Amino acid sequence: MLNSKRPEKDPSRSKEATSEPRSDDLEESVPRAVSPTSSGPVGPVRGPVSGSDWQSLVVGGALVLVGVLAWLFYLREPPLVDVSSLGDLPMDVGAWNGQEIPMTDKVSQMLEADVNIQRAYLHEIGGFIWFYFGYYGTERGGEPVHTPPYCYKSQGWTILESNVVPLGSDTLFANELVVERAGEKRLVRFWYQSYNQSGMLSKTDRVLARMEGLLLDGRSDGSLVRVSTPLLDRAEVPQARARLNSFVREMAPHLTRQWPTEVPPLG
């Protein structure tokens, strides 16, 4: 700290300054680099860029790149879509026999999909599941507007459990929910699928898949696949899982084989 006592004047020096700066006039918390020729304050000296700063720069650059790519693809003509192959999804798969469940116009408009398929499948020895497949072409963004957790909650269902479980293999997985409404319980599984991938779980998975598809093939179509089955009580979960596994093993290959085609526009 500076001494507050004033020094005696030197008679040999000219009268230039009458006092020196006091200690409370100095900014002790922020060191400043002072230029001999600068008459004003100079900003704080900055050290090397920290890891968090680099991370922010990388994320910001990635967002800019995504925005540029999205704009370029937006300016292009959308691909031509042929969804007729989905009409060949079988009503009978293995020991499961299906029937269509009509969807109201209100629900269809809310989902905003290019194609909605909603069915109930009954096993030949008993037990049934509900099956839903919603297809979203590249022009629609390849992304469902509403996800199952949102839809169940909005319809008054309570989500009792949420897990990630294998989807018929060690490399593919599905989201699993146990939901309840007015004493009725269901076991639900859902995942997202694109023209070249299946078993996607999160929004991050879907965004990366769409960007890869746009860069490599100029397409980013995708789908939501959901299967569910009644659940009498929590003790019946293993049997309910077995029903869903049985159906998914039979239907999953057809979803890949009957996937819609998208081709660049003519001209």
Query: Does residue 104 surpass a pLDDT of 60?
Result: yes
Mean pLDDT of 93-108: 92
> Is residue 44 included in any domain, yes or no?
no
Q: Which of 13-22, 117-126, 233-242 has the lowest mean pLDDT?
A: 13-22
CA distances from 77 to 7, 170, 196, 262 (A): 82, 39, 22, 12
Per residue in 186-242, pLDDT (tens digit) is 999 999 988 777 777 777 777 777 777 777 777 778 899 999 999 988 889 999 999
pLDDT at 222: 86
C-alpha distance across the termini of the chain, in Å: 80
> Is residue 42 included in any domain, yes or no?
no
Q: Is 213 helix (H, G, I), strand (E, B) or coil?
A: helix
> Is residue 68 included in any domain, yes or no?
no
Angle between helices 203-217 and 51-75 (to 10 degrees): 50
Q: What is the pTM of this model?
A: 0.69
pLDDT at 207: 76
Average pLDDT, the chain: 76
The tally of domains found in the chain comes to 1
Q: Give percent of the chain with pLDDT exceeding 70.
A: 68
Q: Which two tokens stand for residue 232?
A: 């009498």
> Is residue 214 included in any domain, yes or no?
yes
Residue 255 near residue 201, CB atoms below 8 Å: no
Query: Does residue 52 surpass a pLDDT of 70?
Result: no
Q: Give percent of the chain with pLDDT exceeding 90.
A: 37
Choose between 212 and 184: higher pLDDT.
Answer: 184
pLDDT at 220: 78
Domain range enclosing 201: 79-263
Choose between 266 and 157: higher pLDDT.
Answer: 157
> Is residue 53 included in any domain, yes or no?
no
Mean pLDDT of 159-166: 92
> Is residue 160 included in any domain, yes or no?
yes
pLDDT at 167: 75
Choose between 220 and 171: higher pLDDT.
Answer: 220
- Rounded to a whole number of angstroms, the CA Rg of the chain reads 32
Choose between 176 and 208: higher pLDDT.
Answer: 176
Mean pLDDT of 95-120: 91
Choose between 259 and 37: higher pLDDT.
Answer: 259
Angle at 188 between CA 122 and CA 174, to 5 degrees: 110
Per residue in 19-49, pLDDT (tens digit) is 444 444 433 333 343 344 444 444 444 455 5
Give residue 263's pLDDT band: very low, low, confident or very high (50, 70, 90): confident
> Is residue 14 included in any domain, yes or no?
no
Choose between 260 and 38: higher pLDDT.
Answer: 260
> Is residue 162 included in any domain, yes or no?
yes
